[in-house]
Amino acid sequence: MRAYLTAYLTELDALLDADAPDTDYDAVMRRHLHMIGFMQHERLIHFLVTMLFAIGFFLVMGFFLMTEQIMLVPLMLLILVLLVPYIMHYYFLENSVQKMYHQYDEINSRTARGAAAAEAGEAKGRE
C-alpha cells in the first residue's frame, strides 16, 4: 500500500507541477476524490487495528502487573513488536491523506480558475 500511495502522490504532484493548460482538472478532481475515499477507508481500518493492538498490549501489561506471571512477557513483547510497525504505517497513511487534502484544494482552485477563464472567454466572444 505504501508504494501504491507514494506512486500516486508523486504522479499527482508531477501533474500539478506541470500545470499544462489542456489538463482536465474536473476529471483529475473526480479521480482524486475517489482515491481520497479509498485512503480514508484504509486509514480507518489501520486506525482500528492499531487501537486494538494498543488495547491488547495494555491489557496484557495490566494482567502482567497484577499477576506477575512471567509467561505474559513474551506475549506483551510480541504485541509490541507488531504495534510499532502498525503505528508507523498509520502515521504514513494519516500524513498522506492530509497531503491529499492539500492537493484537492490545489486542484479545486485550478478548476475554479479554469472556469473563470472560460467565462471570461465566452463574455469576450459575445462582445
Determine the Cα–Cα distance for residues 8 and 103; give it in Å rounded to an integer.
12
Examine the pLDDT at 127 and tell me if it is beyond 80: no
pTM over 0.75: yes
Say what percent of the chain tops pLDDT 90. 76
Sign of torsion over alpha carbons 51, 33, 7, 12:
negative
- Each residue's pLDDT tens digit, 8-37: 999 999 999 988 888 888 899 999 999 999
pLDDT at 112: 77
